Amino acid sequence: MFPGISSRSIQTARLEIAYLQAGTGNIPLVLIHGNCSSSLFFQSFMQALSATGRYIIYAPDMRGYGESAGAPVDATRGLRDFSDDIQAFVQALGLPPFHLFGWSLGGNVVMQYAQDYPGTLRSLTLQAPGSPFGFGGTRDVQGTPTWPDYAGSGGGTANPEFVRRLAQGDRSDDAFSPRATMNTFYFKPPFRVSPELEELYVSALLRMKVDPGNYPGDTESSEHWPNVAPGKLGVNNALSPRYLNQASFAHCSAKPPVLWIHGADDQIVSDTSMFDFGYLGQLGAVPGWPGAEIYPAQPMKAQIRYVLEAYKANGGAYSEVMLAECGHSPHIEKQDEVVGLFTAFVDTH
């Protein structure tokens, strides 16, 4: 652990959750990591936050990640398993209303939490969140399904070679390895963390529970291109628009102020995502693409903005900050800027 950060675990009403804790202040911050990562990706960020002396910071590992239990994810509930886990975690800690920060998948999880547990948040920060209409399988800003069975989303869309290398504990720099995937897509090349941090992050990736109940999930075949449809278990299926539609976020009964931070060069959550079958088909990377009229690229950032504008129209407030020369991990790539933006936002609320 980095100096000033302790590694802990707590038995909640749902499962045993491992978490990192830092800071001696009295303003609680809870940080939720993304897919294919863990709380370890927050250590440097937590150090910087705790240096202010104002905050006490908690970063749990979600189920199936890091040191937390690998309980199966019921994808038919969307992200509610994760949302309920956060609620059980903060209840076990006895936290008062707190500030919630979610990165990538964690951004969608915290949006779900805000809907499921209104009145418990002081503010909500979304860093490089996924689309409120799930990952893959939608065609416009309103989240219209591309196919009736949501083909092109879910557990079957994960690169099988990446999944194989994860399961084998591959620490190489070969194509499709966890290390190469992280350095190519989590960050905007040529950005690279220190060798020590890189080893820490690779270790975090390799701690993921790789099985049909967790990552990436089970899959079903489809008659529609690209011939894979979502199953019912695991995190990638929970992110499928078959089960995840967060348009109702715009109508939360309690509307905490929202800060949306994202990188201008994000290759994962993008209107031209390198992980979206619609865009990959357009590039010729996946054979048989039926064309943009039938299967366009998913406009992920436009969908986020669409839902946040509806949130604003219904009485909420949000601000958007796009960071130049930055990929999918602003708190790592642009740590000083994100610390400044986040603390200014938190301190205002």
Report the CATH number that the domain containing residue 56 is assigned in CATH. 3.40.50.1820
Q: Is it the case that residue 1 has pLDDT exceeding 90?
A: no
Strand partners, 228: 221
Grade residue 279 by pLDDT with cuts at 50, 70 and 90: very high
Average pLDDT over residues 297-316: 98
Would you call 9 exposed, middle or buried from its count of C-beta atoms within 10 A (0-12, 13-18, 19+)?
middle
Q: What is the mean pLDDT of residues 133-139?
A: 98
Residue 181 lies in a domain: no
271 in any annotated domain = yes
Domain that holds residue 272: 5-147+243-348
> Could you tell me if 257 and 318 are in contact, meaning their C-beta atoms sit under 8 angstroms apart?
yes
Query: Is 234 inside any structural domain?
Result: no
Mean pLDDT value across residues 106-115: 98
The predicted-structure confidence for 14-69, as pLDDT tens digits, reads as follows 999 999 999 999 999 999 999 999 999 999 999 999 999 999 999 999 999 999 99
**Exposure class string for 145-173: b at 16+ Cβ within 10 A, else e:** bbbebbbbbbbbbbeeebbebbeeebeee
User: What average pLDDT is seen over the chain?
Assistant: 97
pTM: 0.98
Query: How many domains does the chain divide into?
Result: 1
Distance CA 281, CA 296 (A): 9
| Position 227 in a domain | no
Residue 212 belongs to some domain of the structure = no
Does residue 202 fall inside a structural domain? no
Residue 194 lies in a domain: no
pLDDT value at residue 28: 98
CA dihedral 281, 104, 39, 194 (to 10 degrees): 60
Distance CA 62, CA 263 (A): 24
- Averaged over 179-201, what is the pLDDT? 98
Q: pLDDT tens digits, residue range 235-267?
A: 999 999 999 999 999 999 999 999 999 999 999
Report if residue 219 sits inside a domain: no
Largest separation between any pair of C-alpha atoms in the chain: 57
